[in-house]
Amino acid sequence: MKDRRDYIIQKAMEMYALEGYQNVSITDLQNQLDMGRGTLYYYFKSQDELLQTCMEQYFLEPKQRALNSVNDDLLMEDMINAMMQYLHSLEDALMTFTNKNINTSNVNNLMFSAYSRFPALHRRAQRLALKEVELWRKAIYNSQRAGIVRHGIDVDLIALMMAHVKDSYDSGLSRTQMDFTLLQKSYDAMYNLLKIE
C-alpha cells in the first residue's frame, strides 16, 4: 500500500514540476496513474493535500533530516556535508523521474507556487531556513574557536551567504540538468576564503 502511495506522489510531482500545479487536473492524474478517482482519493483527500505531501516529502523532510544530523559542536565542514547530504537526497529523488526534461527551474517554480498557495508550507520552509542560518552561524563560530576560520569577519553575513549558496544554482551553468557538483565547489570555495592560511 505504501508503494502505491509513493508511486502517486512521484508521478504527481513529475506532472506538477513539468506542467505546473494549476495545469494538472484530477483527470490528468488519473490518466497518468491509470487509476480510478476513488483509488486516488483513498490515498489523498484532495489534490491540494497531494501537492503538500509532495513538497513535504521531496523538500522539507529531507532538509529537516539534514539539519537534524549535525550537533552543537559542528564545524563549517560538518555543515557543508549536511547541506550536500540534503542536496544529494533531492538529486536522487529527482533522478527517479521518468521524464528527463524536468530541471531545477521547473522544481523551483513548483516550490514557489506551492509556498504561495499554502502559507503553512511556507512557514515551515521559513523555519527551516532560519534554522539553517543559525546552524551556519554556530558552525562559523565553532570553526573560529577551533582555529580553522579567521576572526574579524561578519559572521551573520557569511552565514546568510552560505545558506544561499544552493539558492543561486543555475542549471544552465551545468553540463546536466540535475548536476549539483557546482554547489559543492561553491561551498568549498567560500570555506577556503575564510580559512586561516
Q: Is the pLDDT of residue 103 over 80?
A: no
Handedness of CA 140, 141, 145, 146 (dihedral sign): negative
Q: Which residues have CB under 8 Å from 109's CB, separation 6+?
A: 17, 20
Average pLDDT over residues 33-59: 92
The pLDDT of residue 179: 63
Q: Is the pLDDT of residue 44 over 70?
A: yes
The pLDDT of residue 173: 45
Average pLDDT over residues 95-100: 80
The pLDDT of residue 175: 44
% of the chain exceeding 90 in pLDDT: 70
The pLDDT of residue 159: 97
The pLDDT of residue 108: 82
Q: Is the pLDDT of residue 76 over 70?
A: yes
- Comparing 22-31, 95-104, 114-123, the range with the smallest average pLDDT is 95-104
Q: Is the pLDDT of residue 148 over 50?
A: yes
% of the chain exceeding 70 in pLDDT: 93
What DSSP element (H or E) covers 81?
Answer: helix 76-95
What DSSP element (H or E) covers 80?
Answer: helix 76-95
Task: Encode pLDDT of 155-182 as tens digits.
Answer: 999 999 999 987 765 555 444 455 678 8
pLDDT band at 55 (very low <50, low <70, confident <90, very high): very high
Quick check: 187 and 181 in contact, CB under 8 A? no
The pLDDT of residue 169: 58
The pLDDT of residue 170: 53
Neighbour tally for 119: CB within 10 Å: 9
Sketch out the chain's domains with CATH numbers.
47-194 (1.10.357)
The pLDDT of residue 106: 82
DSSP per position, 93-111: HHHT-S-TT--HHHHHHHH
Task: Encode pLDDT of 123-139 as tens digits.
Answer: 999 999 999 999 999 99
Average pLDDT over residues 85-89: 90
Closest to 187 in 3D by CA, of 64, 84, 108: 84
Closest to 50 in 3D by CA, of 16, 96, 23, 82: 16
